[in-house]
Amino acid sequence: MALTLTKSGNPHAATIVYLIRHIDDLNTAALAPFKDLLLSKINDKDNGITLFHSGMGHVVAVLLKSPADNAKVGELLEESRIKGGHICKRLNHEKVTSATVLRASTSVSKEELLAFCEGVALANYQFLKYKSDKKVNSLTSLLIDDAAVDGIELDELNTVIAANHIARDLGNEPVVGLNSVQLGEFAVEAGKRAGFQTEVLNKAQIQSLRMGGLLGVNAGSSVPPTFSILTYKPDNATNIDPFIFVGKGVTYDTGGYSIKTGASMPGMKMDMCGAAAVIGAMYAIATNKLPVYCIGLIPSTDNRINSDALVPDDVITMHDGTTIEVLNTDAEGRLILGDALSYAKKYNPALVIDLATLTGAAAAITGSLGSALMGTDTTYREQLIAGGDLTYERLWEIPYWKEYADMLKSDVADMKNIGGAIGGSATAGKFLEHFTDYPWLHIDIAGPAILKDDEAYKQKGASGVGVRLLYSFIKQMAGK
């Protein structure tokens, strides 16, 4: 069940969560009886995470990092989210349904308070659709008792959290319940709720556009491909040329005839997490009415095998006329993204950002700690990275030298779809760059998009990575 953050609180509620940092924070009447115990937690730099006094109904989150320690803002906010995640698990363990959050003093900033609440709400996510015994979390309401926080801020945060949950739901949904056609239908319905327009191109329209990458990957499937165009253009938009998000929408990836091993196959329902991030971000941006013209492009298909499927050595022709020698059918994401990136040229975009679970090479570099970044843009790059630091959906620029493009030269076509054993994520980026003539950034989310284990405020499975990052970036573009 979703957790709602509300702008009201009862200081005498049965369960109260206090955020503390300094010794002086322990002088409040409610915390004074536990001063010695809490003081030991403040001084314990290896712990200090949470305390729970079930009899009194007091929960204490001790923030150990401090601006005085030269901690970066993003690090302070992430510690708060992590503490919120731990608190959420404890509240649900104690079957708490509602709690009030207080700052013990201004030693804890308003931003840290909101990040803490965000961590609680993100940690409360569950995907129970296919469970017979649905053990639903008890926590449904978090009341923020703080004069510095207004209802508008909480409405905005609730929407961003809901958008992240949308992306997680999409990623966790098996292909039996979410194929390419259904993904397009979901985007239409999400647009109706949020306030953006969605056009879903069918196979005949995709054929008329000569999108050989998308059609080639789809050739082995009984489900037709879709190409979804999500448009949010408010009357008060501050930009004339749009910011475009492109999301890889492979609803299941067997690898095609370059078939994955059995151990690598589970989890491939989440090979559309880039598309999920785009839908989630557009939902948050439109619902919160940010004054920025944005477009989402989602090429979608599954990658399966039949007698018509691509095989290594096939040559296909992309939307822009480029011929591609396909040497590995498991390097399919770049084929469908290439068509979408060339299609984006028609909009004269200010910037295009694509997100994709593209390469294991990127995941090997970042793990679940961040995403690999590359591309041609220099105008917006630092702002996107800054947004990643604040949301802790961090970005790391990898080597992206021009020589990586040479590794894609083909003997029989304009390009081949893989390089070699070196620089797998960079050669994939260079492949995508070929289809751009505008400012462009590529985010390979293969590491953080699919989690093998629970983390503080994230659960095993789809993480919804990219939603909070893109929202933060567009909010910067809106000047808010």
Average pLDDT over residues 394-416: 97
Domain boundary among 124, 147, 170: 147
Amino acid (one-letter) located at 361 = A
Q: Does residue 307 sit in the same domain as residue 229?
A: yes
The Cα–Cα gap between 50 and 19 comes to: 10
Residue 334, classed as helix, strand or coil, is helix
pLDDT at 37 over 80: no
Q: Between residues 20 and 194, which one has the greater pLDDT?
A: 194
- Give me the chain's average pLDDT, please: 93
| Domain extent for 393 | 160-477
Q: Does residue 324 sit in the same domain as residue 367?
A: yes
- pLDDT of res. 417: 98
Structural domain count of the chain: 2
Q: Does residue 137 sit in the same domain as residue 226?
A: no
Percent of the chain exceeding pLDDT 90 equals 82
- pLDDT of res. 46: 53
Taking Cα atoms as reference points, which of 396, 446, 448, 451 lies closest to residue 248? 446
Asked if residue 152 belongs to a domain, the reply is no
Lowest-confidence region among 101-105, 306-310, 395-399: 101-105
Q: Does residue 33 sit in the same domain as residue 87?
A: yes
Q: Does residue 47 sit in the same domain as residue 191?
A: no
pLDDT band at 191 (very low <50, low <70, confident <90, very high): very high
- pLDDT of res. 15: 86
Q: With contact defined as beta carbons under 8 Å apart, do 222 and 307 qualify?
A: no
pLDDT tens profile 203-257: 999 999 999 999 999 999 999 999 999 999 999 999 999 999 999 999 999 999 9
Q: Does residue 329 sit in the same domain as residue 440?
A: yes
- pLDDT of res. 56: 55
Asked if residue 155 belongs to a domain, the reply is no
Domain boundary among 98, 119, 147: 147
- pLDDT of res. 200: 98
Domain boundary among 102, 117, 147: 147
pLDDT at 53 over 60: no
- pLDDT of res. 414: 98
pLDDT tens profile 71-121: 899 999 999 999 999 999 989 988 999 999 999 888 899 999 999 999 999
Q: Does residue 31 sit in the same domain as residue 71?
A: yes
Q: What is the CATH number of the domain that holds 65?
A: 3.40.220.10
Asked if residue 473 belongs to a domain, the reply is yes
Q: Does residue 191 sit in the same domain as residue 75?
A: no
Q: With contact defined as beta carbons under 8 Å apart, do 161 and 121 qualify?
A: yes
- pLDDT of res. 162: 98
Q: Does residue 473 sit in the same domain as residue 340?
A: yes
pTM to 2 decimal places: 0.96
Q: What is the CATH number of the domain that holds 460?
A: 3.40.630.10
pLDDT tens profile 441-480: 999 999 999 999 999 999 999 999 999 999 999 999 998 6
Q: Does residue 202 sit in the same domain as residue 301?
A: yes
The verdict on whether 334 is a catalytic residue reads: yes
pLDDT at 137 over 70: yes
Q: Specify the DSSP class assigned to residue 399.
A: P
Q: Residues 260, 289, 345, 381: which is the catalytic one?
A: 260
Q: Specify the DSSP class assigned to residue 141.
A: E
Q: Does residue 252 sit in the same domain as residue 399?
A: yes
Q: Residues 103, 269, 334, 475: which is the catalytic one?
A: 334
- pLDDT of res. 291: 98
Q: Specify the DSSP class assigned to residue 18.
A: E
Q: Does residue 399 sit in the same domain as residue 327?
A: yes
The Cα–Cα gap between 107 and 63 comes to: 10
Taking Cα atoms as reference points, which of 370, 447, 436, 365 lies closest to residue 405? 436
Contacts 24+ apart (CB under 8 A), 231-234: 231/196, 231/197, 231/198, 231/199, 231/294, 231/295, 231/296, 232/195, 232/196, 232/197, 232/282, 232/285, 232/286, 232/292, 232/293, 232/294, 232/295, 233/293, 234/289, 234/290, 234/291, 234/292, 234/293
- pLDDT of res. 55: 54
